[in-house]
Amino acid sequence: MTELASKRLARTAGLTPSQLSVLRILTEFPEVSAGYLAEATQLKHATITSLIDKLEARGLISRRKCDEDKRRVWLRLLPEGKAALADAPDPLHQIFSERFNALPDWQQAMLIASLEQVTNLLDAENLDAAPVLHVGELDKEPL
């Protein structure tokens, strides 16, 4: 994420890019461990712990100890966290939209036609891209 996009994220949603990543991962599962978040975000455990502390202090996530193993902590996204995600801009989408809209109409039409042709060639209408877009390893469930 660019510095400009990071500042926009901080201004609109009050989040850092790392906090945004954690919240997005938490939308995928009812509860996840801090260890899973560290692995999925490729951040150190100390960094994840700091992020969790800040997100919990803001009331965006909740934390509870595992009943079986008191060393393990389960994290859950709260409604306030979902609202913060909804307020967060999607920097890639926003940058693309601005640049695409700045193109002349004929270039926009050519790009759309070309992308539609690529979609048809790849039979992409029938492709389920969700598993490919998942953050983290595809063959592992959250810990």
Q: What are phi and psi of 127, to 5 degrees?
A: -90, 130
Q: Where are the domains of the chain?
A: 3-133
Could you tell me the pLDDT band of residue 4, with boundaries at 50, 70 and 90?
A: low
* Tens-place pLDDT, residues 9-66: 656 667 888 888 899 899 988 899 999 999 998 889 899 999 999 999 999 999 998 8
pLDDT score for 72: 85
Tokens of 8: 């926009």
CA 91 to CA 119: how far, in whole Å?
24
Q: Which of 84, 92, 91 is nearest to 27 (CA)?
A: 84
Alpha carbon 10 to chain centroid, angstroms: 15
The architecture that CATH gives domain 3-133 is Orthogonal Bundle (1.10)
Q: Which of 75, 69, 88, 86 is nearest to 49 (CA)?
A: 75
pTM of the model: 0.59
CA 62 to CA 74: how far, in whole Å?
8
* Tens-place pLDDT, residues 115-131: 999 988 888 767 665 55
